[in-house]
Amino acid sequence: MRNVTKDNITDVFKSYMAPEMDPRMREVMGSLVQHLHDFARDTKLTHDEWRQGIAFLEGCAAIETEDRHEFVLASDVLGLSSLIDMLHSRDDATSSSVLGPFHVSGAPPLEVGGDMKRDFGGPVLLAEGVIRDTDGNPIAGAEIDIWQTAPNGLYASQDEEQDTFSFHGLMTVGDDGRYAFTTVKPVEYTVPSDGPVGDILRACGRHPWRPSHLHYIIKAPGYRTLVTEVFPEDDQYLDQDTVFGVRDDLVMTYHEKAAADFPDGMAISGKVNEPYLSVNFDVILASE
């Protein structure tokens, strides 16, 4: 097309895609460019604003490292990451939620009833539940990968004071599908806000806080892997999670219990001398 105009350029783009290209790539690129062009047309985006957009991408590029994923963070705070999760969630299963950038592969085994709190301060949290299929039957041998922040609000990978796998554990459940572990109550924390994504948050008058949560990835042969989070119902940021991760069915009550009520059969049974918190969170996996 020799005479490209602001009205036909999207069709010209689509006409440039070759007949033999992958049909899904054609669909995705066509939709991406349609929306990108519509965005520019709808806002009559200026050259200055375009330059600011390029500067944003170059600013993300400048701080991108193996441990700092600014493009993923941008996707998170724009709600794209959560939307992708929800587009592929199953209505008959527990909701998925954001993976986040702090998952570490190779967490050490944690037995059912095991402890992740060790000598860290803060209230003991006993988390337990049953992994079930959509008919309510326990899924024997399901694997649950657990991670969370330390009481200082940092994940092990962010914190030189912690071991590599501090507050990370990999549990395999028995025939009853039951998981249980003790840990410290997770705390609220901020996403990194010292980069270009932080600039966007400030320009939008937004805060960088996430409500406190436990992260789980739950896998079992024949079932769809579930990446999810568990939130306490009294967290002040539940209604304004900066990465849009909260779902109704992931909000649980942390019950306060007396030390004397602490159950037997846990790694730290008999060692709990103060009131503790207890959360029960059952998980439903959809079949593949």
Residues 213-252 that bind a second copy (CB under 8 A): 238-242, 244-248, 251
Residues 174-213 that bind a second copy (CB under 8 A): 200, 203-206
- CB atoms near residue 145 (< 10 Å): 21
Question: Whole-number minimum distance, CB 10 to a second copy, in Å?
Answer: 7
Cβ within 8 Å of residue 38, ≥6 positions away: 10
Cβ within 8 Å of residue 175, ≥6 positions away: 138, 140
Residues 57-76 that bind a second copy (CB under 8 A): 57-58, 60-62, 64, 69, 71-72, 75
Distances (CA, A) of 4 to 11, 19, 143: 10, 21, 55
Question: Whole-number minimum distance, CB 143 to a second copy, in Å?
Answer: 19
Q: Quick check: 242 and 206 in contact, CB under 8 A?
A: yes
Question: Whole-number minimum distance, CB 235 to a second copy, in Å?
Answer: 10
Our finding on whether 258 is near a second copy (CB under 8 A) is: no
Q: Quick check: 141 and 218 in contact, CB under 8 A?
A: no
Our finding on whether 253 is near a second copy (CB under 8 A) is: no
Our finding on whether 47 is near a second copy (CB under 8 A) is: yes
Question: Whole-number minimum distance, CB 138 to a second copy, in Å?
Answer: 27
Our finding on whether 39 is near a second copy (CB under 8 A) is: yes
Radius of gyration of the chain (CA): 23
Residues 84-123 that bind a second copy (CB under 8 A): 84-89
